[in-house]
Amino acid sequence: MMKTCPLVAGPLRHDLSATFESRMGEAGITAAALEALAPAATGSLEGLRAKKQSGALPLLSLPWRRDDLEEGAALAAELRGWTRHVLVLGIGGSSLGGATICRLAEKGTVFSPDTPKLHFLDNIDPATFTSIFKRIALEKTAVLAISKSGGTAETLCQTLICHDAFVAAGLDPARHFITVTEPGPRPLRQFAEITGCRCLEHDPDIGGRYSGLTLNGLLPAMIVGLDAEAIRRGAAAVTDAALAPADPLESAPALGAMVNIGLGRERGISQTVLMPYSDRLDRMGDWFTQLWAESLGKHGNGTTPIGALGAVDQHSSLQLFLDGPRDKLVTLVQSAVAGSGGTVGANATALMGDGLSYLSGRTMGDLMDAEQRATAETLIANKRPTRIINTDAIDEESVGALMMHFFLETMVAADLIGVDAFDQPAVEDGKVLARRYLAEMAG
């Protein structure tokens, strides 16, 4: 039997009713399709529970850890004491988790002007590095270089170029650089040993794209004053709620995975859209895209993830979502914004004409609330499968909850289609070829 009322997991409320045939007709997934997926989903949840209990998958117990946060808090306090800038080097999962979380600070609460400015340098465009070296004072800058393997070519290149820039400025890398990598003999760890800079441990059993809730993401968050414990609390609440039920229809991540995979098989849904209504979540689409694509896109499987942002993309991509091919599942993330923000004064019509009476006396949050609700209703009216995730506030707890939800949903989806959620074999081919091209240049 389909779940029609919202599933509650910590600060999140999941409403998937507009993905079901009972509400959406031929656009929705049938009860028979869900029933066919239920045994595999049940087995997936059982496997996750067993791995959590045995410690075989540290990600599942991570939300309850605090010892690493103590280390991170001390380091963050030290950096806040003397830095004006922190360059976060890394690519993919080593960068996206932290960048996503830190938007809470950049687009939300205003912190002290003494808070360091974070620069997530997740690409190898030479112009970016040339520009930033000209714009910041290196003596007031720290570098956080993150690579799980310790051998990621892009991150090593970034680190070495930054190292040379600091040395040229007469600065000691031991003071300015911090590395994060796995234990063992690795180039990034060797760099730390030779330069004398600090090296933090990256858990070898937590993959890069699943590492946003480790110090990879939480150290940058603590540097800008975010509450790392609240992020972990949100993740813990979602993990508990997801793994407790025996019935996968009662587990939001399991049901989300079943709907994604079932709609693909039964209705030809080949794309999944994540569209939050908040600037503080404007990097979550990028983060989700990597997580979903790299975890599931194997052996002809997977659906294409698309990041969007409300209300911005109501003026661009929403036209396609509403009136283009019927090949998309849209997930909207909404929050309680009504009544917040500045209020449009009674002089609105005098300034801009009689047609603006609907705005007079309304807050900016009222407009955002009306638009997020209107988008959901319009998608549903046009028979576009739509999932709605509601939260009272976009804050540390809800962001931790969202990230853990999608970690779990992705892992269950991988089990449903029979792929390994944690490898990326096709990507490795390109890395080998790139190294060969570099070797040929040297010749």
**For residue 28, what is the enclosing H or E element?**
none
From the CB of residue 438, how many other CB atoms can be counted at a distance below 10 Å? Answer: 11
Residues taking part in catalysis = 294, 315, 431
Paired residues of 276 in beta bridges: 333
Work out the end-to-end distance of the chain between its first and last CA atoms, rounded to an integer number of angstroms: 65
* Rounded distance between C-alpha atoms, residue 253 and residue 247, angstroms: 12
Cα angle for residues 328, 312, 322 (degrees, 5° grid): 30
Nearest of 397, 394, 366, 401 to residue 277 by alpha carbon: 394
Q: CA separation (Å) from 344 to 16, 337, 353, 355, 369? A: 35, 15, 14, 14, 15
Q: Cα-flanking dihedrals φ and ψ of residue 55, to 5°?
A: 85, 10
* Rounded distance between C-alpha atoms, residue 299 and residue 311, angstroms: 36
Q: CA separation (Å) from 437 to 90, 123, 124, 127? A: 22, 19, 16, 21
Q: Cα-flanking dihedrals φ and ψ of residue 320, to 5°?
A: -65, -40
What are 231's two structure tokens? Answer: 């992020």
Nearest of 30, 5, 34 to residue 17 by alpha carbon: 5
